[in-house]
Amino acid sequence: MATDCWQRQITYARLSLTETCNFACPYCRPNPIAGSCLRAPKLSANDWMILAEALHLLGIKALRLTGGEPTLYPHLKDLVQSLTASHWFEDISMTTNGSTLKEGASDFYAWGINRLNISLDAVTETAFTQATGRKGQLANVICGIEEALKQPFSIIKINTVLSHYPTDQEVNQLLSYIEKWPVIWRFIEYMPLSTSKIKGPNFTEWTSQLERLTGGSLRPVKQIYGHGPASYYRLTNGTTIGFIFPMSHSYCSHCNRIRFTADGNLKLCLLHNEEIDLRTAIQSGASPQTIANRIQIALLQRHESHQEASNIRSDRPMWRIGG
Ligand code: SAM
Ligand code: SF4
Atom in ligand 2 nearest the alpha carbon of residue 68? 8
DSSP structure class, residue 253: G
- Report the separation in Å between the CA atom of 258 and the middle of ligand 2, taken as the mean of its atom positions: 19
- Report the separation in Å between the CA atom of 280 and the middle of ligand 1, taken as the mean of its atom positions: 27
Quote the strand ranges of 127-249, DSSP E: 155-162, 184-189, 219-221, 231-234, 240-244
Write out 56-102 in H/E/C secondary structure. HHCCCCEEEEECCCHHHCCCHHHHHHHHHHHCCCCEEEEEECCCCHH
Atom in ligand 1 nearest the alpha carbon of residue 322? 9
Atom in ligand 2 nearest the alpha carbon of residue 318? 3
Q: How far apart are the first and last CA of the chain?
A: 24
Atom in ligand 1 nearest the alpha carbon of residue 159? 14
- Report the separation in Å between the CA atom of 159 and the middle of ligand 2, taken as the mean of its atom positions: 12
Is the pLDDT at 313 greater than 80? The verdict is no
The predicted-structure confidence for 93-125, as pLDDT tens digits, reads as follows 999 999 999 999 999 999 999 999 999 999 999
Where exactly are the structural domains of the chain? 12-321
DSSP structure class, residue 306: P
Is the pLDDT at 34 greater than 70? The verdict is no
Ligand 2 pocket: which of 27, 28, 158 to mutate (most atoms within 8 A of CB): 28
CB of residue 191 inside a 6 A radius of ligand 1: yes
> In the structure, which protein residues have their CB atom closer than 6 angstroms to any atom of ligand 2?
21, 23-25, 28-29, 67-69, 97, 119, 318-319
The SS3 assignment for 234 reads strand
Q: Which ligand is nearest to the CA of 133?
A: 2
Domain 12-321, CATH = 3.20.20.70
Taking CA atoms only, the protein residue closest to ligand 1 atom 2 is 96
pLDDT at 249: 79
pLDDT at 32: 64
Average pLDDT over residues 22-29: 92
State the pLDDT confidence band at 35, using cuts at 50, 70 and 90: low
pLDDT at 250: 77
State the pLDDT confidence band at 312, using cuts at 50, 70 and 90: low
pTM recorded for the entire structure: 0.95
The predicted-structure confidence for 258-292, as pLDDT tens digits, reads as follows 999 999 999 999 888 899 999 999 999 999 999 99
The predicted-structure confidence for 55-78, as pLDDT tens digits, reads as follows 999 999 999 999 999 999 999 999
d(CA 232, CA 239) in angstroms, rounded, equals 10
State the pLDDT confidence band at 192, using cuts at 50, 70 and 90: confident
State the pLDDT confidence band at 33, using cuts at 50, 70 and 90: low
pLDDT at 59: 97
Q: Which ligand is nearest to the CA of 161?
A: 1
Taking CA atoms only, the protein residue closest to ligand 2 atom 8 is 68
Work out the percent of the chain whose per-residue pLDDT is above 90. 81
Is the pLDDT at 151 greater than 80? The verdict is yes
Is the pLDDT at 175 greater than 70? The verdict is yes
DSSP structure class, residue 299: G
**Which comes out higher in pLDDT, residue 2 or 224?**
2
pLDDT at 211: 96
pLDDT at 153: 98
Q: Give the burial class of 188: count Cβ atoms within 10 A of its Cβ; 0-12 exposed, 13-18 middle, 19 or more buried.
A: buried
β-strand pairing of 62-66 with 12-16 = parallel
d(CA 115, CA 162) in angstroms, rounded, equals 23
Q: What type of residue sits at position 230?
A: A
The predicted-structure confidence for 221-265, as pLDDT tens digits, reads as follows 988 787 778 999 999 999 999 999 888 877 889 899 999 999 999
* Phi and psi angles of residue 291, each rounded to the nearest 5 degrees, phi first: -65, -40
- Report the separation in Å between the CA atom of 285 and the middle of ligand 1, taken as the mean of its atom positions: 32
Q: Which helix (H) or strand (E) holds 289?
A: helix 288-298
Is the pLDDT at 36 greater than 70? The verdict is no
Taking CA atoms only, the protein residue closest to ligand 1 atom 19 is 28
- Report the separation in Å between the CA atom of 322 and the middle of ligand 1, taken as the mean of its atom positions: 7
CB of residue 67 inside a 6 A radius of ligand 1: yes
**Which comes out higher in pLDDT, residue 268 or 308?**
268
The predicted-structure confidence for 43-59, as pLDDT tens digits, reads as follows 999 999 999 999 999 99
